[in-house]
Amino acid sequence: MPHRVVVLALDGILPFELGIPQRIFGSARGQGPLDEGRALYETVTCSVRAPGPVRTDADFSILVERGPEALATADTVVIPASYELGPVQEEGRLTGELTSALARVRPGTRLVAICTGAYVLGAAGLLDGRPATTHWSSADHFQRLFPKILVDPGVLFVDDGDVLTSAGVAAGIDLCLHLVRRDHGTAVANAVARSTVVPPHRDGGQAQYIRRPVPERGSAATTAARAWALGRLEQPILLRDLARQESMSVRTFTRRFRDEVGVSPGQWITQQRVERARHLLECSDLSVDQVAREAGFGTATSLRQHVQAALGVSPTVYRRTFRATTAGR
């Protein structure tokens, strides 16, 4: 059976964020010979009340056809942001409706909050002692209201295993893509990214508030340098060579790159090399030594260190996990 995702639509919900899980998970299709084209997730929406209209923050309401009983069927529950959280956001306590609804969630169900949806998990006590994030503009208030939560105000999302939280709006896309990648591997996640025309990977630790995400008219960007680097990840890439692609000094290029991408050039290159390694481990029969060379890590030892740091497992375990997943679908 497909993994069942239940999205909880609360009054005041943001339509954009409500649509993210349906679009991302709904686009995930099997890539293996036995499951090519098969839907990997079933995504449904429910309310805390009986089926009926739910207000949005726009000039329309939506008709939700499922009540809170759907939460009992979920493998993953997603709570998008709402602008009408009332005592949840003002006092850090759940309403009676929310308490009853969340009580239906089975133990072990994966919980995901997008943006200020994290207030619901916080008010339920589900984030106490755990790392979490929310929209940068709400992070200070969130921390004051829930002092037991380890709030990281700067990152795109936090994966704490069975509980995940994201920053606002587009970071919800990053988090849902991350879950697809975690569940089914890079090839499936990249196919979803291509179909939805979004970047295939932004690391959870990337800064959520980038000062200049779009270069000013007439100012130089770093796009050409990034494209140049992606074409030669297996080779040594020096900072001065990246800067040369944009005819900038190293100092100017480094500052501009961080402003546009949110991380340093070195961090970005490492992220891209890990993604290349993931793809090769999933989709090729290259040895670990060969993967290390093709991804630009040089040695198997370096590959193991970076993959372990990024993914929490060794290259061999990662390959075995996703090879077994593909074969068993």
Q: Which residues are catalytic?
A: 115
Distance CA 215, CA 223 (A): 10
Q: DSSP 3-state assignment of 326?
A: helix
Distance CA 295, CA 286 (A): 11
With tokens 């591997």, the residue in question is 185
Q: DSSP 3-state assignment of 49?
A: coil
Distance CA 160, CA 149 (A): 12
Residue type at 237? I
φ/ψ of residue 285, rounded to 5 = -105, 15
Distance CA 205, CA 159 (A): 10
Q: What value, to the nearest 5°, has the Cα angle with vertex 218 and ends 216 and 224?
A: 90
- Within a 13 Å sphere around the CA of 91, how many CA atoms are in the beta-carbon half? 5
Q: Which of these, 162, 58, 68, lies nearest to 113 by C-alpha position?
A: 162
